Amino acid sequence: MSLNIKFTKDDDVKSDIEIVFIDQNLFKKLPKSKTSILSLQSFSAKDGEAVFLQSDKILYYGTILDDIDSIREAAAKAIRIVKKYDIKSLKIKGFENSDFNYALFIGILLGDYEFIDYKSKITKTTLTDIFIITKKDYKSELHKAMIVANSTNLARNIVNTPPQDCTPIVLADIAKKIAKDFMLDYKIGDVKFLQKEKMELILSVARASTHEPRFIELIYKPKKTKKRIVLVGKGLTYDSGGLSLKPADYMTTMKADKGGGCAVLGVMQAIAGLKPDIEVVGIIGATENMIGGNAYKPDDILRSREGITIEVKNTDAEGRLVLADCLSYAQDLKPDFIIDLATLTGACVVGLGEYTSGIMGYNKKLNIEFEKVASKSGELTAILPFNKHLEKLIDSKNADISNVSSTRYGGALTAGIFLGRFIREEYKDKWIHLDIAGPAFVEKEWDVNSFGASGIGVRSVIDFILKVANGA
Ligand code: BES
Ligand code: ZN
Ligand code: ZN
């Protein structure tokens, strides 16, 4: 990360430009001479409006000053604007409040992200120093924001990496590097390991790919620990749909089908830096879903690691198969909580829109708790409620269950219910499923995110882990 954020008490600190966050009330209180110049440029400090006043070297950015989500977003968007200028330093008046300053910092650091690894011509930004003017230093807020933003940007980078360069083996190598750099324990399982573990679901999905699958496990184990959280991520480095091939228009962006797995990597890196007193294990089922003479087929009946048999009715519903074997392994670790993250269903995107993740699970209180934490972290979520009538929709005549529902309604829920079948009775209340298919990858800028991968899930899961670690 190239930005250097520093605190100063000096309002007059020398910098090339200043960003002033302003709302409509404050705007009215500016001297008449100022408001008239700004009004001439059609600026009235409405949320999201921006104007650069050359004479004062100030970027005025309209926002809602008492709304933390607006501040986070404003910081990200204002940074993107000023980055285009030929400036080295910038000052911003901070807040005298921890949460607002954290939102400001994370907004800046996430807004600064761009994916340019594959661009031949890049215009280098010159901005390096940001002065935050506050009465005291907010060092711990900045420390956390840097760790969380770095790990979110790590997840974004991996998700954005094209499928030819991020194969399951490469994803496992990245995980190994994170483990070594951040002193985490790790285990990388190859095909032999998957066979030994009887993970026939992962092996079947992976079979037609020329790239071998990998099982990835990262372990953070502090000395003082009472609880264990296991994270499970869908790591489809490409999802062509398999023999139930996706139409061309639906196949693009499917490099992002590793979004859940990458979020797990991001969280693990952050946890290694934040060092909470709680054990955290991150598991990723990494594979491609491809076509070929040896591809798994609709009508195949597979035996899962958990022993449940599954009739494959659509090879494009591969994520739930990969997760099912991972969830089985996860429960053997005797977790206090299991959270899975997956770009699981298009239905979730249809239902909630592109910006919101679906929360599912049997424990209503836990769902609500997670929703609250996610909202505070700056992520949009909505609880999708299971009901008993959905259960029979995945019945199969030939096997224990089918991998798709018998109706096209409620697809996010029936996928969640499918996963729920692999959760043993004693873990039913400890499990949350997050369908991040919408926000994991959006083909336009939104909120604190640039075009492409958002790293969604990283912030909310980190904050959930911290909350559990603090005994809440
Ligand atoms: N990876 C997709 C889900 C997806 C869709 C993620 C759009 C991101 C954006 C998943 O593997 C899939 O293809 N699901 C199918 C399930 C269906 C066959 C029951 C879907 O949602 O259409
Ligand atoms: Zn699929
Ligand atoms: Zn998929």
Question: How remote is the CA of residue 319 from the centroid of ligand 2, in Å?
Answer: 6
**Most informative mutation of 250, 344, 443 for ligand 1 (most atoms within 8 A of CB):** 344
Q: Is residue 384 part of a domain?
A: yes
Task: For residues 368 and 263, state if they share a domain.
Answer: yes
Where a domain ends, among 82, 102, 137? 137
Q: Is residue 58 part of a domain?
A: yes
For residue 289, give the ligand 1 atom closest to its CA.
Answer: 11
Q: Is 471 left (phi over 0), alpha (psi -120 to 50) or beta?
A: left
Q: Is 135 left (phi over 0), alpha (psi -120 to 50) or beta?
A: alpha
* Closest Cα to atom 3 of ligand 1: 345
Q: Is residue 146 part of a domain?
A: no
Task: For residues 46 and 155, state if they share a domain.
Answer: no
Calculate the CA dihedral of residues 456, 342, 352, 414 and round it to 10 degrees: -160
Comparing C-alpha atoms, which of 439, 470, 464 is closest to residue 454?
439
Contact partners, residue 337, CB within 8 Å, separation at least 6: 227, 229, 230, 366, 430, 431, 432, 468
Q: Is residue 143 part of a domain?
A: no
Question: How remote is the CA of residue 164 from the centroid of ligand 2, in Å?
Answer: 18
Task: For residues 434 and 296, state if they share a domain.
Answer: yes
Question: How remote is the CA of residue 259 from the centroid of ligand 1, in Å?
Answer: 13
Task: For residues 371 and 223, state if they share a domain.
Answer: yes
Tally of domains in the chain? 2
Write the burial class of residue 166 (CB in 10 Å: 0-12 exposed, 13-18 middle, 19+ buried): buried
Q: Is residue 142 part of a domain?
A: no
CATH number for the domain spanning 18: value is 3.40.220.10
- Look at residue 73 and give its three-state secondary structure: helix
Question: How remote is the CA of residue 158 from the centroid of ligand 3, in Å?
Answer: 16
pLDDT, residue 2, reads 81
Where a domain ends, among 110, 137, 164? 137
Task: For residues 202 and 133, state if they share a domain.
Answer: no
Contact partners, residue 229, CB within 8 Å, separation at least 6: 278, 279, 280, 281, 335, 336, 337, 338, 339, 465, 468
Question: How remote is the CA of residue 124 from the centroid of ligand 1, in Å?
Answer: 37
Task: For residues 302 and 390, state if they share a domain.
Answer: yes
For residue 343, give the ligand 1 atom closest to its CA.
Answer: 6
User: Residues with Cβ within 6 A of ligand 1?
Assistant: 239, 257, 314, 316-319, 343-347, 349, 404, 411, 437
Query: Looking at the chain, how many residues does it have?
Result: 472
For residue 440, give the ligand 1 atom closest to its CA.
Answer: 8
Please tell me the number of the ligand nearest to residue 403's CA.
1
Task: For residues 90 and 170, state if they share a domain.
Answer: no
Q: Which domain holds residue 43?
A: 4-137
Task: For residues 395 and 269, state if they share a domain.
Answer: yes
For residue 246, give the ligand 1 atom closest to its CA.
Answer: 13
Q: Is residue 262 part of a domain?
A: yes
**Most informative mutation of 234, 315, 345 for ligand 1 (most atoms within 8 A of CB):** 345
Where a domain ends, among 72, 107, 137? 137
* Closest Cα to atom 8 of ligand 1: 437
Task: For residues 77 and 164, state if they share a domain.
Answer: no
Known catalytic residues are 246, 320
CATH number for the domain spanning 264: value is 3.40.630.10
Lookup: tokens for 87: 């400036």
Please report, in tens digits, the pLDDT of each residue of the chain (472 residues total): 489 999 999 999 999 999 999 999 999 999 999 999 999 999 999 999 999 999 999 999 999 999 999 999 999 999 999 999 999 999 999 999 999 999 999 999 999 999 999 999 988 899 999 999 999 999 999 999 999 999 999 999 999 999 999 999 999 999 999 999 999 999 999 999 999 999 999 999 999 999 999 999 999 999 988 899 999 999 999 999 999 999 999 999 999 999 999 999 999 999 999 999 999 999 999 999 999 999 999 999 999 999 999 999 999 999 999 999 999 999 999 999 999 999 999 999 999 999 999 999 999 999 999 999 999 999 999 999 999 999 999 999 999 999 999 999 999 999 999 999 999 999 999 999 999 999 999 999 999 999 999 999 999 999 999 999 998 6
